[in-house]
Amino acid sequence: MSYLPDLRGELLQAARRAEHAPATVPAPAAPPARGYGRGGRWRRAWRWRWAAVNVALGLAGTLVGLNAAGVFHRGTALGPEVAPSASSDEGVAIAGSVKLLGLRAADPGGGLPWGIRVARTTRGLTCVDVGRVDFATIGVLGQDGAFADDGRFHPVADDVFDPQGCDLSDARGDGFVNVALQDAPASGLFAGPPAAGGCSPAEAKGGAHERFLKRSLRHSHPPARPTCPAGDLREIYFGLLGPDARSITYRAPGGRLRTIPTSGPQGAYLLVLRQATKGCLAPAPLDGRHGECRYGFRGDRGGPDVPAGVIAAVSYRDGHTCHVPAPGTFAAMFGSCPPVGFVPARRTPLGAAQLATPISVREVPARAYCSKDETIEPCDGAVPPGYRRVSGGQPSLLVRISFTSRVAIPNSASYYEIELHYPHSRGCTTGGSGGPTNSDIRAGQRVTWSSLVPYSCPGVMRGTVTYVPTEGAASSMPIAGLPGQGKSVLVGRFSFTVGHAPG
């Protein structure tokens, strides 16, 4: 916590008290004190008063300079957009595990430095988050539309995680996670509750990306955001490479390569640069045009592998170096430099005989549906409290798939994958759908997954439920086929028939 503003006020008040206090003049009969001489005590008292005033004024001037350099008053904390749960999604931070690393990176525009915070969660994940640093934590600055541009420092709550920055911890508790951000505002606000505000890159406003977001989020009514100042956009690379990493080599502004050591036993690194406006490091357009580099990227990417971009190579303590594909190449699409030193947890493999269970299907036809979070309910009549009517799109049938789990899923190290395969027909332009579970499940617990399937795809729909274990360093987002995911095991099959929409 910073005490400088309070100290400044106290010193100024002390100086004012000294200035207006009556002078202490020795009585004529009293012998002069040694070293004072006649009138010495009066002169010394005034010297102390002026010294106090000068110190206070000098400190005040220093503090004005420090404020310009990045010393802020503390504002309200940035909390999670949705209340976190210890048993779902990323979970919540384990008490005592949240640590601000000593690694710092200067911002190209000056002010507070950037730092990264590491936390271990109740779902077996290691999460890293980046932000401006003050008050011994990471936070968001009240600028670029964040927090109404109040100019304060807003700490980020311990349970605010970017899913891109959360990966499965290994058997030793080490994390292997790498994140690349583009179009990141200098405020440090990348996501959060609508009330926190923020800004959007100029390219996204009015473009195909913004139109896509409006269609996708039409039920949540996201507030309009101002355009981010071009000079306040950053390109940020950060992460944990593990205890075997020794250094990274990156492309500094101008194209020259620079090598720096990783930090601490976790192999941490942090790079903060101005957002490139041209070349292969510039954000790829979102309207289908690729510009100079066909395989550019936009937004943020995370996972155990090192993403292509600014980072050119990673060196390890055994002497070998992994070279990251150059941005703009085909190989750069798939990342590179997989984790070195990841120690998988020991677990007993599960087979189909241990996992097989009947799958049931319940069709819920209705003329209208309403949603709340991930819950969908029929609502032909009034909208239930807290729900919003699902509007737009084509008439659909609500289907609930359910089964009883025969095994426990205690963390993010395994999950169920539910897939639907649509019938082929002239009016059916959708190929299928699916979704993973993303929460802890008890053995014997009933698991239910809901989906809206369009009536424009009539006929028999078939589906499968599989169990997917993770065997290596893996992202917190459970997607079969991504690095670290093991071979899926069949749990059961199901089918149902889609008829005509209700009249």
pLDDT score of 215: 35
Mean pLDDT of 175-185: 93
β-pair partners for 118: 99, 128
Q: What is the DSSP string of 314-328?
A: EEETTS-EEEPPPTT
Q: Which amino acid is present at 344?
A: P
Task: Give, as one character, the DSSP assignment of residue 61.
Answer: H
CA distances from 61 to 66, 71, 112, 459 (A): 9, 13, 19, 77
Task: For residues 182 and 163, give the distance between their C-alpha atoms in angstroms, rounded to a whole number.
Answer: 16
Residue 330 confidence (pLDDT) above 80: no
Q: What are the boundaries of each domain within the chain?
A: 4-69, 99-334, 352-498
User: Spelled out in words, what is the top-level CATH class assigned to the domain 352-498?
Assistant: mainly beta
pLDDT score of 283: 66
Residue 197 confidence (pLDDT) above 90: yes
Mean pLDDT lowest among 69-83, 186-200, 398-412 = 69-83
Sheet bearing 257-261, strands edge to edge: 257-261, 245-251, 311-316, 321-323
pTM: 0.79
Task: For residues 289 and 291, give the distance between their C-alpha atoms in angstroms, rounded to a whole number.
Answer: 6
pLDDT score of 311: 92
Mean pLDDT lowest among 88-102, 325-339, 354-368 = 325-339
pLDDT score of 167: 95
Give pLDDT tens digits for 402-454.
999 999 999 999 999 999 999 887 778 777 888 899 999 999 999 999 999 99
Which is higher by pLDDT, 119 or 201? Answer: 119
CA distances from 13 to 1, 7, 16, 51, 315 (A): 22, 10, 5, 13, 56
Give pLDDT tens digits for 219-274.
344 567 899 998 999 999 999 999 999 999 999 888 899 999 999 999 999 999 99
Give pLDDT tens digits for 291-314.
456 555 556 788 899 988 889 999
CA distances from 499 to 180, 195, 392, 450, 469 (A): 46, 44, 20, 18, 36
Phi, psi at 171, each rounded to 5°: -65, -25
Closest residue by Cα to residue 156 from 183, 182, 181, 132: 132
Phi, psi at 72, each rounded to 5°: -125, 155
pLDDT score of 118: 98
Token duo for residue 430: 């959708």
β-pair partners for 137: 134
Closest residue by Cα to residue 179 from 157, 161, 196: 161
Phi, psi at 482, each rounded to 5°: -75, 160
Task: For residues 468 and 415, give the distance between their C-alpha atoms in angstroms, rounded to a whole number.
Answer: 5
In this prediction, residue 4 has a pLDDT band, given cuts at 50, 70 and 90, of very low
Mean pLDDT of 362-390: 90
Token duo for residue 417: 């994958």
The angle subtended at Cα 60 by Cα 59 and Cα 61, nearest 5°, is 90
pLDDT score of 326: 78
In this prediction, residue 477 has a pLDDT band, given cuts at 50, 70 and 90, of confident
Q: What is the DSSP string of 359-417?
A: -EEEEE--S-EEEETTEEEE-SSSPPTT-EE--SS--EEEEEEEEE-SS-B-STTEEEE
Task: For residues 146 and 152, give the distance between their C-alpha atoms in angstroms, rounded to a whole number.
Answer: 10
pLDDT score of 46: 35
Mean pLDDT of 384-396: 87
C-alpha Rg value of the chain to the nearest Å = 30
Mean pLDDT (the chain, rounded)? 80
Q: CA dihedral defined by 150, 151, 154, 160, rounded to 10 degrees?
A: 80
Closest residue by Cα to residue 474 from 342, 354, 310, 288: 342
Residue 114 confidence (pLDDT) above 90: yes
Residue 331 confidence (pLDDT) above 80: no
